[in-house]
Amino acid sequence: MRPGEQLTVVLHQTRSTDNLGAVARIMANFGYSRLILSEPVLKSIEGAERLAVKSDFVLRGMEVTSDLGEALKDCVYAVGTTSRTQLKGRTVLTPEEAMQRLAEESVRGRVALVFGGEQRGMSDEDLARCTDVLAIPTSAVQPSMNLAQSSAVLLYLCHRQGLTPTAAVEEAPGAKLGTLGALAKRMRDVMLRAEFLNPQAPQHVLNELEQTLMRARLTQREAELWLTAFKHLERAVTRGAST
């Protein structure tokens, strides 16, 4: 396994080409190369190469997606970063705990580390796309870290954790977040039709359900099974509604 192959760095709603360049450099510093820009605010990456010293290969290989779900679709695990230490209904991991999980999950397939935009970070909705959430503990004096700095801290810890084990993948392939995302969408449709979810605000309850499936560490086969089940349910519910 090539070093770093299992870790994907996702920059969501990034605004600054300086930050993009700095993140590319820090990825190269620690042997990572797979970078995805999700829903970028920046219009062009021109200027990023100034800070991406000896790491232009990271920028050249970078993918761009229109949303976070798309960016994570091939991953079996994603941890989102936040500066908020309290999040309703979710346990906020320490960086060390998160790195431990990233390393463990990386035997099942691709794993991702997701950073939010410079101005507002990741929304609850963005974080709901991630299996776990982490916060870097900071001082009350200035709790908000610069994007490039937090990537330096976390990628250093990934590197030290020895993410990218050389051991053969033994576990059954983990469910891709793309499949889980499709499942969540299907669940939403079915449950709205079944009038289980409140049509004014369906997402909160849906997120809770989705989280339990993420926690269950589904295999890809199991996730597909769920998805097929909900396809059948949807057909049944639609049939029921039309009769």
| Of 44, 86, 91, 144, the one binding a second copy by CB under 8 A | 144
- Tell me the closest approach of the beta carbon of residue 15 to a second copy, in angstroms: 14
- Tell me the closest approach of the beta carbon of residue 83 to a second copy, in angstroms: 10
Rank residues 26 and 36 by Cβ distance to a second copy and give the closer one: 26
Site mask for a second copy (CB under 8 A), range 150-169, x = bound: x-xx--x--xx---------
Query: Cβ distance 76 to 173 under 8 Å?
Result: yes
Site mask for a second copy (CB under 8 A), range 206-225, x = bound: --------------------
**243 exposed, middle or buried (CB, 10 Å; 0-12, 13-18, 19+)?**
exposed
Rank residues 23 and 78 by Cβ distance to a second copy and give the closer one: 23
89: left (phi over 0), alpha (psi -120 to 50) or beta: left
Nearest to 36 by CA among 16, 14, 18: 14
Rank residues 106 and 150 by Cβ distance to a second copy and give the closer one: 150
Site mask for a second copy (CB under 8 A), range 2-31, x = bound: -x------------------x--xx-xxxx
Nearest to 91 by CA among 120, 33, 34, 133: 133
Rank residues 104 and 118 by Cβ distance to a second copy and give the closer one: 118
Beta-carbon-side half-sphere exposure of residue 242 (alpha carbons within 13 Å): 6
User: Does 146 engage in binding with a second copy (CB under 8 A)?
Assistant: yes
**220 exposed, middle or buried (CB, 10 Å; 0-12, 13-18, 19+)?**
middle
What is the 3 state secondary structure string of 101-124?
Answer: HHHHHCCCCEEEEEECECCCECCH
User: Does 61 engage in binding with a second copy (CB under 8 A)?
Assistant: no
Given the structure tokens 């994570």, which residue do they identify? 72
Rank residues 149 and 228 by Cβ distance to a second copy and give the closer one: 149
User: Does 133 engage in binding with a second copy (CB under 8 A)?
Assistant: no
Amino acid identity of residue 181, one-letter, is G
- Find the length of the chain: 243
Interacting positions 78-97 with a second copy (CB under 8 A): 95-96
Count of Cβ atoms closer than 10 Å to residue 38 Cβ: 26
Given the rule CB under 8 A, which residues bind a second copy?
Answer: 3, 22, 25-26, 28-31, 51, 53-55, 95-96, 136-139, 141-146, 148-150, 152-153, 156, 159-160
